[in-house]
Amino acid sequence: MTQVVILGFDGLDADLLRVYGPALPHLRRLMLESPFLELTSSIPPDTYPAWGSLYTGLNPANHGLLSLPISGQEPAGHDAGEPLALTCGTTFWDLASASGKRICVLNPYLAYPAWPVNGVMLALSPHDGSMSITPEEYELSLAFPALPRLAEQAARREQLRTFYHELVSCTLQQAALGLELLQQERWDLFFLQLNALDVVQHLFWHYSDLSDPAYPGQSEHLTRIQSFYRLCDHIVGEIRAALPAESILLVVSAYGHGRRSHQRVHLNEWLRRQGLLVVQRRSPRLLERPLSARSRGYLASDELLAHAGLAVREHQPPARSRSHLIDEERSLARAFSLGGDGPFGGVTLNRQGLEEQGRDYEEVRTSLQQEIHGLRSRGCPLLRWVRKREEVYQGSYLERLPDLLFELQSDFAIGDDLYVPLLTTQAARRAISGTHRKDGVLLIGNLLHHEPKVNDMHEITVMDVAPTVLSLLGINNAVRFDGQPLLTLRTAGSLS
């Protein structure tokens, strides 16, 4: 009987694995024997949609786990303190449990409180870090601590050392409990997720990236990220050493990590100039208030302004966030960022408003798609692509996605300011300098009896993980996934 053990490291990045590989013997070994490395994330590569897709094998329009700026920070359909019904019963561990497999799953995102499985499930509250475990009477010899919260003072340089070591200590303790539970029983499926790496990269990226505008020069934090990758490597080594020779080991991450962009494309300002976004009537008086030159952190792009048919002003008014000044009822379109401070975004259309003006929704959407795609800076396109939502995903929750989805070039992020140049450069941010990117990780080791089922042209995505895990466990149920199994049993012919 095949045992599958999965280690999830939030934010583990394929490119950094290549860079740090010589110092990561256990991960390097996995990289050499795994048929895969890069794992393309969801659109956007944000926590809820990405890990939701990895757990369920479904795209965001089918699992419905979306966290959009318009609808708040909780995923759609979620009441605080209640299990995420959209996930409960549909994850790979639920499907394995329903097939009679013994399960141990520790610390998955989006899964609080824990729900019954054929084995043990442990989850931490995203609100206060409290632990939930099923069965409730299951006793732990060690605590499974929640990650320390990033208090405002922890972002200060003098507090970062302490905070980093707290993250290390917490991760080691989580891994120690995971190792203990792994050895208590020969689980058919064991899954441990560790989330501190993502926090480390968010906080310490600019200390190790010499090309980052916020790079402060050499400091004690220069190797924090690399050191944490070594910690992850150590954990992989300990887990692998405890496994029987025939156990299959997976290391996964639903997205990677990279530098946070300091260039902003203010599409809401562009929509305002097109007459599609309306500012509240009293707002212009607020916008005329002068600020000191010290507050001005933006550099205009002459060519982009010229493309928009506007003259460049030598003294541009300072930028402040204007999103709260948008008149939602009278505006016909609004843009916003998806997946944090990165290149992914969306545009929602006010269908009722369009109907009241006698305008055809599909004509406006198609025209807007073409015009946004044509935005240029210095002759180069600002966007990699812009598509209608049904061209990206299909599913029962499609209406929760923006009418248009797009990805900017990697050097840009979405800005939400109004009455500013369309393209600006923001002052370097030192507190949170790293951000998610779309290339996560999938490593699979000890494939004694399996071989790749897909060719080199197939894009490996987060949606392929769940069906692959179930296939490795020998479970072939009638569940329909958006992903597909990546491996197949070797035949007698392939073994010869």
pLDDT tens-digit map of 128-146: 899 999 999 999 988 899 9
Q: Are strands 423-425 and 263-265 parallel, antiparallel or unpaired?
A: antiparallel
| Cα distance between residue 201 and residue 475, in whole Å | 36
Residue, of 325 and 19, whose pLDDT is higher: 19
Q: CATH number, domain at 18?
A: 3.40.720.10
User: What per-residue confidence (pLDDT) applies to 285?
Assistant: 52
Residues 355 and 230 in one domain: no
User: What per-residue confidence (pLDDT) applies to 154?
Assistant: 55
Q: Is the pLDDT of residue 190 over 90?
A: yes
User: What per-residue confidence (pLDDT) applies to 282?
Assistant: 62
Confidence bin at 290 (pLDDT 50/70/90): very low
Residues 249 and 360 in one domain: no
User: What per-residue confidence (pLDDT) applies to 492?
Assistant: 55
pLDDT tens-digit map of 414-427: 998 899 999 998 77
Q: Is the pLDDT of residue 489 over 80?
A: yes
Residues 40 and 127 in one domain: yes
Confidence bin at 323 (pLDDT 50/70/90): low
Q: Is the pLDDT of residue 276 over 50?
A: yes
For the chain, what is the mean pLDDT? 85
Q: Is the pLDDT of residue 302 over 50?
A: no
Distance, C-alpha 324 to centroid of its chain: 25
Q: Is the pLDDT of residue 304 over 70?
A: no
Mean pLDDT, range 370-384, rounded to an integer: 94
The three-class DSSP label of residue 288 is coil
Residues 410 and 489 in one domain: no
Residues 380 and 447 in one domain: no
Q: Which of 425, 457, 487 is the last residue of a domain?
A: 425
Residues 279 and 314 in one domain: yes
Q: Is the pLDDT of residue 289 over 90?
A: no
Q: Is the pLDDT of residue 297 over 70?
A: no
pLDDT tens-digit map of 37-80: 999 999 999 998 999 999 999 999 999 887 543 333 344 434 43
Q: Is the pLDDT of residue 298 over 90?
A: no
Asked which of 380-384, 420-424, 451-455 is least confident by mean pLDDT, the reply is 451-455
Residues 139 and 271 in one domain: no
Residues 235 and 342 in one domain: no
| Cα distance between residue 234 and residue 241, in whole Å | 11
Measured torsion, CA atoms of residues 465, 470, 476, 480, in degrees rounded to the nearest 10: -40
User: What per-residue confidence (pLDDT) applies to 155?
Assistant: 61
Confidence bin at 308 (pLDDT 50/70/90): very low
User: What per-residue confidence (pLDDT) applies to 493?
Assistant: 54
Mean pLDDT, range 118-122, rounded to an integer: 97
H, E, C per residue of 322-362: CHHHECCCCCCEEEEECCCCCCEEEEEECHHHHHHCCCCHH
Structure tokens at 316: 């541009």
Residues 255 and 269 in one domain: no
Q: Which of 425, 457, 484 is the last residue of a domain?
A: 425
Residues 86 and 153 in one domain: yes
Mean pLDDT, range 85-104, rounded to an integer: 89
Number of folded domains that form the chain = 2
The percent of residues above 90 in pLDDT, for the chain, comes to 67
Asked which of 188-197, 205-214, 219-228 is least confident by mean pLDDT, the reply is 205-214
Q: Is the pLDDT of residue 151 over 90?
A: no
- Per the structure, the complete domain to which residue 386 belongs is given by 263-425
| Cα distance between residue 455 and residue 322, in whole Å | 48
Sequence letter at residue 419: Y
Q: Which of 425, 444, 471 is the last residue of a domain?
A: 425
Residues 278 and 253 in one domain: no
Residues 43 and 146 in one domain: yes
Asked which of 205-219, 282-296, 356-370, 376-390 is least confident by mean pLDDT, the reply is 282-296
Sequence letter at residue 18: R
